[in-house]
Structure 1
Amino acid sequence: MNLRLIGIGAGVLVILSLPLAGAIAGPDFAGEDDGKGGGLLSSLGLSGPSRTPVAPGTPDAARSAEREVLPSQPGPDVRPRTDTRCGPELSSPHGVEAQTCVLESGGQTWGRSYYRNTSGRTLDAVLTVMGPEGRTVQIRCVVGAGDEPGLCETPQEESAGKPIDYSAVAEFAVPDEEGQLLLRSGSNSPEPGDG
């Protein structure tokens, strides 16, 4: 065999094993005790579960000098359920499509309108949520021209009453002095053809 080839292979093997040997040799090189929460093995994605030392003289010390601590598993998603009540999807001959909803979750209520604007011009949208006891929340959104869907959403407010006590209306208009209304969409709008 060619001695030069064997020498080069051995040199490459030594070079490749140095970082791993250094990581195993001491906690400072591995980054476990440097406060950085990482280290060479972690940065290479090779670190296993963390290990917790066991005090000498304890029952666990007789079985093993170290005990593996498995990473905690994430629990189930605990976000509260969101109830949504939407009106029908409506469209206007001017190139605006919208659907408006009232949402309730975790004691909060708000309005949302999904839209698509193919009119070729920027529009104004005013979304109003009306609730019990004369409560009203209103927001104005700029609706860009284009075929991409978007949404306009009011801030979330503390609920007062039942979800059925709330309604939302979105109005899409040309942003000029006359403010020509192109579409009105509500959370309780009748289906087209229902009168």
Structure 2
Amino acid sequence: MTTTVTCRGVGFSYGAYEALHDVDLDVGRGEIVALAGANGAGKTTLLEVLLGLRRPTSGTVRVLGREPYRERRRLVHAMGAVFQESGCAPDLTVAETMRMWHRLLRRPVGDAGPLTEVRLEHRAHLRVRQLSGGERRRLDLAVALIGEPSLLVLDEPTTGLDPESRALMWELLRRRRCEGTAVLLSTHLHEEAVLHADRVEEIVR
């Protein structure tokens, strides 16, 4: 299996506080890996390290063979991310949001595929603030899918979703896995992760 993500002995500290300690992790192409652990275990911090938003205090990290913090500009088009807090401007419409991100990522604006994939094409005319919480999460995912990323990184993607939206989220992630995308997500819903992910990795600080 081709490895998309490799972590060896990764640590990260906020001053004297050690958020991550000696983490080893591999995520292969076409694999869904769930990070499980208690609140404060460092799951979000690890995802931020992999996205190049934080430099690890110790250890080595490689995403698609590159060091995320130093080579983030080279990797940004190959990664899609869904954070716990939505990054979509509330006063833009759904369609305007997608057009903006297509331009930022230098992708053809006419591609409506991601919106259709998350079943929001019929809401394209609405402003983001008019969407339900589950629809906003689905819009976040649609933005993350722009450009067909090789790696999807999702922080607690199903938290607060209704059962239908949760099922749709997992269905979409499994479909992307079958197409070769590597998926790494954090969750505190251990039973759900065991049911749907290929592998669950416990993060213990």
Band of TM-score, shorter chain: under 0.3
Taking structure 1 as the reference length, what is the TM-score of the superposition? 0.20
- From the two aligned structures, give the one with the greater helix fraction: 2
Which structure exhibits the higher relative contact order, with contacts defined as CA atoms closer than 8 Å and separated by 6 or more residues? Answer: 2
